[in-house]
């Protein structure tokens, strides 16, 4: 019976035997990702030849074929990290090591679908957590020592500017806060200025403040009775 790829002289020694008298080792993978990819390719070949394989067997062939000692590349990573969504446990054990086989196309599609759903849930969680942190930061900024008074001063200025010009934005309020009250920055409390008594116009303008790096900020106007009624509908 013909020997399998992995039990050929090349697979056992890692050398090519050609006309050249000097054995030539196969090139080593150059990065962690390439090492892991090489190990997975070996695992696929072993599963194709034998139906299943395990971590230590793959690691041994990786050493024989590429001259790579697994723990030199992944000191904290056990060989189980080789077996990703392309593999499934067979239920067999060699010593204390789990045996793996190649996943069927249906199993692999299901694994990808599960992964996509997991990423979707994580993204949604991260978005909600970010919004919560933002709201908490503004509330903490507004409740800090002296900040409620500072916040009301800023709102008075914002109302004044809206009465004079019909609208305003955070940069204009911040400029007058500095001139009148010596407040160079309001910190997180600045995000609460327009929370009460104002309505977003739907327009934005690029900020002139260096710390904002030219990002766009909202333009606000005074809230009308119609705006209030719209919020309750």
Q: Are residues 226 and 115 in the same domain?
A: yes
Dist. CA 191–CA 155, nearest whole Å = 11
Q: What pLDDT sits at residue 133?
A: 62
Strand segments (E) across the chain? 15-16, 24-25, 53-54, 87-94, 97-102, 198-206, 216-222
Q: Return per-residue pLDDT of the chain as tens, 233 residues.
A: 444 444 443 343 333 434 455 555 555 655 778 888 899 899 999 999 999 999 999 999 999 998 988 888 877 666 667 887 788 899 999 888 899 999 888 887 887 777 777 777 777 666 666 666 656 655 555 554 456 788 999 999 999 999 988 999 998 998 888 888 888 888 777 888 999 999 999 999 988 877 777 788 999 999 998 887 776 55
This prediction has a pTM of 0.40
pLDDT tens per residue across span 195-229: 999 999 999 998 887 777 778 899 999 999 888 77
Q: Based on the fold, state whether residues 115 and 47 are members of the same structural domain.
A: no
How many angstroms separate the CA atoms of 99 and 42, rounded? 14
Residue 48: CATH number of its domain: 1.10.10
Tell me, yes or no, whether 220 and 180 share the same domain.
Answer: yes
Same domain membership, residue 166 and residue 80:
no
The helix/strand/coil state of 20 is coil
Q: Are residues 81 and 147 in the same domain?
A: no
| Residues 30, 33, 36: CA angle, nearest 5 degrees | 100
Q: For the chain, how many structural domains are there in total?
A: 2
Same domain, 99 and 114: no
Please indicate, yes or no, whether residues 92 and 125 belong to a single structural domain of this protein: no
Q: Are residues 131 and 222 in the same domain?
A: yes
Structural domain harbouring 216:
110-232
Q: In the listed set 64, 80, 103, which residue is the last one of a domain according to the structure?
A: 103
Report how far apart, in Å, the C-alpha atoms of 7 and of each of 11, 21, 31, 49, 77 are: 6, 22, 26, 10, 27
**In terms of domains, do 45 and 132 share one?**
no
């Amino acid at each position: 019976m013909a020997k399998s790829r992995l039990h050929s002289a090349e697979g056992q020694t890692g050398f090519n035997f050609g006309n050249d008298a000097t054995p030539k080792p196969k090139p080593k993978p150059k990065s962690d990702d390439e090492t892991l990819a090489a190990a997975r390719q070996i695992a696929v070949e072993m599963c194709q030849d034998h139906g299943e394989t395990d971590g230590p067997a793959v690691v041994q062939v990786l050493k024989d074929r590429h001259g790579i000692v697994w723990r030199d590349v992944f000191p904290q990573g056990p060989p189980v990290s080789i077996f990703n969504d392309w593999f499934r446990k067979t239920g067999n054990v060699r010593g204390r090591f789990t045996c793996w086989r190649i996943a069927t196309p249906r199993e692999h599609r299901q694994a990808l679908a599960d992964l996509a759903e997991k990423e979707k849930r994580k993204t949604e969680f991260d978005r909600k957590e970010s919004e919560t942190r933002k709201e908490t930061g503004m509330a903490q900024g507004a409740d800090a020592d002296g900040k409620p008074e500072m916040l009301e001063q800023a709102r008075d200025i914002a109302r004044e500017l809206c009465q004079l010009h019909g609208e305003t934005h955070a940069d204009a309020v911040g400029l007058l806060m500095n001139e009148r009250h010596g407040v160079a920055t309001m910190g997180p409390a600045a995000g609460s200025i327009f929370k009460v008594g104002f309505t977003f116009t739907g327009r934005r303008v690029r900020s002139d403040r260096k710390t904002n790096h030219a990002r766009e900020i909202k333009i606000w106007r005074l809230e009308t009775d119609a705006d209030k009624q719209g919020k309750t509908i």
